[in-house]
């Protein structure tokens, strides 16, 4: 199993970051590896909501995601298959001097993968996720600067 966390500060209130992040259809706006994310279940975003996602990198794939926990405005958990690996993504949000501290914890199952290879793969994935989270931060902060 590959596990890691990334933490960053987004210069926006927790409620604003939560609203943006909990709508998974925004993922292609900040994740360079994802082409589309479409809600496939009816109604509002809630526990049990499902999404279909198309990924371009590391190879074209269709992925299914399910929201497994929502604690507005503090936590979002999503489970699914990412790049062929069963995954759990947890986003914990906390107020930090008027901004939002976002901690993203990732668990990827790697059945049958040698430990050393899984560690190397994990390091690479963590860097890519950190890059995406920086894009998330810039996207949310830029949206505010245009609105002002």
**% of residues, the chain, pLDDT over 90:** 78
Under a CB-based contact definition with an 8 Å cutoff, are residues 17 and 11 in contact? no
In eight-state DSSP terms, residue 24 is: G
Domains annotated for the chain, with CATH where assigned, are 2-31+69-147 (3.30.530.20)
Report the mean per-residue pLDDT for the chain.
Answer: 92
The answer to whether the pTM exceeds 0.75 is yes
Cα atoms in the 13 Å half-sphere on the side-chain side of 119: 3
**% of residues, the chain, pLDDT over 70:** 95
SS3 assignment, position 116? helix
Under a CB-based contact definition with an 8 Å cutoff, are residues 12 and 100 in contact? yes
């Amino acid at each position: 199993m590959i596990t890691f966390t990334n933490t960053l500060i987004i210069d926006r209130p927790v409620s604003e970051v939560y609203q943006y992040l909990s709508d998974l259809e925004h993922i292609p706006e900040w994740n360079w590896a994802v082409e589309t994310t479409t809600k496939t279940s009816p109604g509002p975003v809630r526990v049990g909501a499902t999404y279909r996602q198309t990924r371009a990198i590391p190879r074209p794939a269709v992925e299914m995601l399910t929201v497994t926990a929502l604690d507005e405005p503090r936590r979002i958990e999503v489970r699914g298959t990412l790049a062929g690996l069963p995954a759990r993504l947890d986003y914990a949000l906390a107020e930090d001097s008027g901004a939002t501290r976002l901690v993203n914890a990732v668990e990827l199952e790697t059945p049958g993968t040698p430990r050393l290879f899984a560690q190397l793969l994990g390091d690479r994935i963590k860097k890519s996720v950190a890059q995406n989270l920086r894009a998330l931060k810039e996207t949310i902060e830029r949206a505010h600067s245009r609105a002002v």
